[in-house]
Amino acid sequence: MYIEFLGIPRERAGVSEIEVDAASLGQALTQAAVCLPRLSDLIDGDRLHPSLAANLNGDRFVRDPATPLTAGDRLLLMSADAGG
């Protein structure tokens, strides 16, 4: 599955997206923080900082670390105020 970054998360990550192997949102966030240490202040363990939002496949916003993910999913991390 892919994690795409917009706004502040992209600025901190230094890349537009990464590919991870994760079965849940929490696992994906943990892997992102390990792969991109500059995100560590935006990801606390397996949870997003309240200033961020995560959108799954352009369909819905998710926060629960137990949210299941599949290989073809795309997760978009952005500032919670992005898009107005």
Give the pLDDT confidence of 43-63 residue by residue, as tens digits.
Answer: 988 999 999 999 999 999 999
* 56 found inside a domain: yes
* 84 found inside a domain: no
CATH number, position 60: 3.10.20.30
Q: What is the pLDDT of residue 19?
A: 97
Q: Which region holds residue 7: left if phi is over 0, alpha if psi is between -120 and 50, else beta? A: left
Q: What is the pLDDT of residue 72?
A: 94
* 47 found inside a domain: yes
Q: Phi and psi of 31, rounded to 5°?
A: -65, -40
Q: What is the pLDDT of residue 84?
A: 47
The domain in which residue 29 lies consists of 2-79
Q: What is the pLDDT of residue 80?
A: 82
Name the stretches of the chain with pLDDT < 70: 82-84
Q: How many domains does the chain have?
A: 1
* 67 found inside a domain: yes
pTM above 0.85, yes or no: yes
* 73 found inside a domain: yes
Q: Would strands 52-56 and 43-44 be described as parallel, antiparallel, or unpaired?
A: unpaired
